[in-house]
Amino acid sequence: PLKQSTLSNTAREPLPSPDLCLFIIVIFLYLHCLSLSFTPRLPRPGETIHGNRFFTGFGGKGANQCVQASRLGATTAILAKVGQDHFGESYIKNLKENNVNTDFVSQTDGASTGVAQITVDDEGQNSIVIVAGANLFLRPEDLVCVEEALASSKVLVCQLEVRPETTAQALRYARRHGVKTILNPAPATEDLDPELFELADILCVNETEAEMLAKQPVRNVKEAEKVALSLLKHGCQATIITLGPSGCVVAQNRDPTPHHLPSQSVQALDTTGAGDSFVGALAFYLARRPDLGLVEIAQRSCMVAAVSVTARGTQSSYPFRSSLPDVLF
């Protein structure tokens, strides 16, 4: 195990050369610009309170995951839509600065770029309001232009931020071309299309999402292990349930024993986007180090995500490979 002192976050170090990295493509994703306010506590309904810090940034689960994978050394590409506005231009610039391929990012004058207002309290907990904007202009037919790129990739990561039928089609393309798939079914839904389970090699969820899908409580590690095994019955090859400061639980069809992987003990400043950091790291290791096996890959992903909560912001908190211990690679 790594000592906390070896974990750090340096958000503006040079990125590794993409020529040396394997390819991950995260397609048909949702992105938005962030407006973050920091307050001693979250306001109650109807209450106005004073904050103490404010800044803007970039988010969207798929984009977050893509940026984290890129910062670790993966060559990444996305398909997304933004508005023809300052936020859209800024987001495209941000992706390019993070070595993310933006060939499949388009702009529309039919809506603004997606935005999210996030409030974070002194304990690192948050509340979020999202306006989808241009993200809703993505259509299933947009997948056609990226199938060739997907066929040459190592890993596909999907979320539920776009239409379920589009996510299913992306997963079908990946299955057709032998691409490893991660399904992160967020935002959570109780009536997930059964086909999505069957098309996913790895189902990665947090406690809330696991409870909704399994219709069982996840209040501790033992319950997480039980739910992880039950979710396998829906057809995925492996299940990972992230547990915040308690790490994660991994269950696989080929191994009847679930594994609990504790997280590093760190002082959390902001937990926003930690789950996306985990998924981005998971995709990186699956592409770059499949020899490690899923349990070790999940353990290393926990370590990367632990670093992200020690800095404020979402993508701005994600560590670069050069700021992490060599033993992680």
Catalytic residues: 276
| C-alpha of 306 from chain center | 14
Residue 273 assigned ligand-binding role: no
* Phi/psi of residue 277, nearest 5 degrees: -60, -45
Residue 326 assigned ligand-binding role: no
In residues, how long is the chain? 329
Summary count for the chain: helices (H), strands (E): 9, 13
Residue 43 assigned ligand-binding role: no
Residue 328 assigned ligand-binding role: no
- 8-state DSSP, 166: H
Q: Do 160 and 187 meet the contact criterion of CB atoms below 8 Å apart?
A: yes
Residue 152 assigned ligand-binding role: no
Residue 180 assigned ligand-binding role: no
d(CA 287, CA 296): 14
Q: Do 265 and 4 meet the contact criterion of CB atoms below 8 Å apart?
A: yes
Residue 272 assigned ligand-binding role: yes
Residue 124 assigned ligand-binding role: no
- 8-state DSSP, 200: -
Nearest to 159 by CA among 171, 142, 141: 171
Residue 242 assigned ligand-binding role: yes
Dihedral angle over CA of 66, 71, 75, 77, nearest 10: 30
Residue 206 assigned ligand-binding role: yes
Residue 99 assigned ligand-binding role: no
Residue 311 assigned ligand-binding role: yes
d(CA 114, CA 273): 17
d(CA 220, CA 54): 34
Annotated binding-site ranges for substrate: 60-64, 161, 276
* Annotated binding-site ranges for K(+): 270, 272, 308, 311, 313, 317
Show binding-site residues: 60-64, 161, 206, 242-247, 270, 272, 275-276, 308, 311, 313, 317
